[in-house]
Structure 1
């Protein structure tokens, strides 16, 4: 049985859980992270020296980094609809996955920690405002891409890119700020909401 280590509130853990639902892959989850089991213990850092979630245990195989885990699971399942086998198709999906993990996620982090998590280390109002503005700017980039494809991030079919971007889109909708009108993103959010995995691990009441 696949083991997923990580707390259910983590956006990166939720990527893996949603991917498992899309694959029909049974799994067992153990809650690790703040408020649960300590990821800085020798037990956990022996699995991931970064002391971060998620980590999966697939038999004797240990893997960390959420987007890599999603790609591994899709490839192992032979799901070329989620991760194409041809070089250009795969690159088109991975481009948006990597953009989410680096550019998009970095844009909202300060605002999310300050406004939602109420972190004392993220209370600078000007830094929060700058983070919100950057988040909106990146979501406008996604809106333009979705307007071009008319459906999903990498084209007209759902892929792993939409798993990771869908969770960031939900976080954008959950942030307690005024948001600009992005019609393609709004339609995308509702389109994703027809998928059981997104409702269970994305649009599930958690930001």
Structure 2
């Protein structure tokens, strides 16, 4: 059975859990991370030298990086609806997944650390304002795309791009900050909320 190491409150672990729900995979979740088993032990660091969750163990091998794990699971189980086989269609999905991991995550990191984690290292008011502004700007880019591409990020069907971006959108909506009205994002979020996997692991009140 697939083993997932990580805590169910982690945004990146929840990507993997939602993907498993879409595929219909059985798995065993072992809780690792803050408040649970540590990720700093030599045993864990041999599996992921970054000391971060999630990590999966499948067939005696381990894999880390949440977006990569999602791609692996979709590919292994032949879910070409979630990750197309045709090169351009696949690249469109992976483009948005990469954008989520690089541009969007980098935009919200300072605001999240300052406002939710209350990190003493993130007390610069100007940097906080800049982070929120960039986060809103990038969500506006997603909104403009969804307004023409919909109903999902890459067209008519849900893909891995929706899974990883859906978790990010949930975090954005949960943040105690001023946000612009984004009608296309709101409509897309409502469509995601019709899915069991998103209700359980995505739109569950955890930023």
TM category (shorter chain) comes to over 0.9
In the alignment of these two chains, the number of paired residues is 207
Q: Which runs of 5+ in 2 are unaligned?
A: none
Residue 59 (structure 1) shift: 2.1
Give CA deviations for 1:109-148 in whole Å, capped at 9, x if unaligned: 1101111122222222211111100100100010011001
Q: Structure 2 matches for 1:141-180, cutoff 5 A?
A: 141-180=141-180
SS of equivalent to 2:121: helix
Instruction: Indicate the residue corresponding to 2:98 in structure 1.
Output: 98
Q: Which deviates further from its counterpart, 33-42 or 163-172?
A: 33-42
SS of equivalent to 2:156: coil
Give CA deviations for 1:32-54 in whole Å, capped at 9, x if unaligned: 11221111110100111111111
Q: Structure 2 matches for 1:81-96, cutoff 5 A?
A: 81-96=81-96
TM-score (structure 1 length as normaliser): 0.98
Instruction: Indicate the residue corresponding to 1:115 in structure 2.
Output: 115
Distance 1:112 1:94 in 2: 25
Give CA deviations for 1:68-101 in whole Å, capped at 9, x if unaligned: 1000000111000000001011001000000001
Distance 1:11 1:122 in 2: 20
Residue 152 (structure 1) shift: 1.0
Distance 1:113 1:199 in 2: 25
Aligned Cα RMSD in Å?
0.8
Instruction: Indicate the residue corresponding to 1:139 in structure 2.
Output: 139
Give CA deviations for 1:138-191 in whole Å, capped at 9, x if unaligned: 000100110011311111211000000000000110000111011100111111
Instruction: Indicate the residue corresponding to 1:10 in structure 2.
Output: 10
User: Segments of 4+ in structure 1 off by > 3 A?
Assistant: none
Q: Which runs of 5+ in 1 are unaligned?
A: none
SS of equivalent to 1:122: coil
Distance 1:141 1:167 in 2: 16
Distance 1:48 1:150 in 2: 36
Q: Does 1:68 align with 2:68?
A: yes
Q: Which deviates further from its counterpart, 114-123 or 131-140?
A: 114-123
Distance 2:150 2:78 in 1: 26
Q: Structure 2 matches for 1:16-31, cutoff 5 A?
A: 16-31=16-31
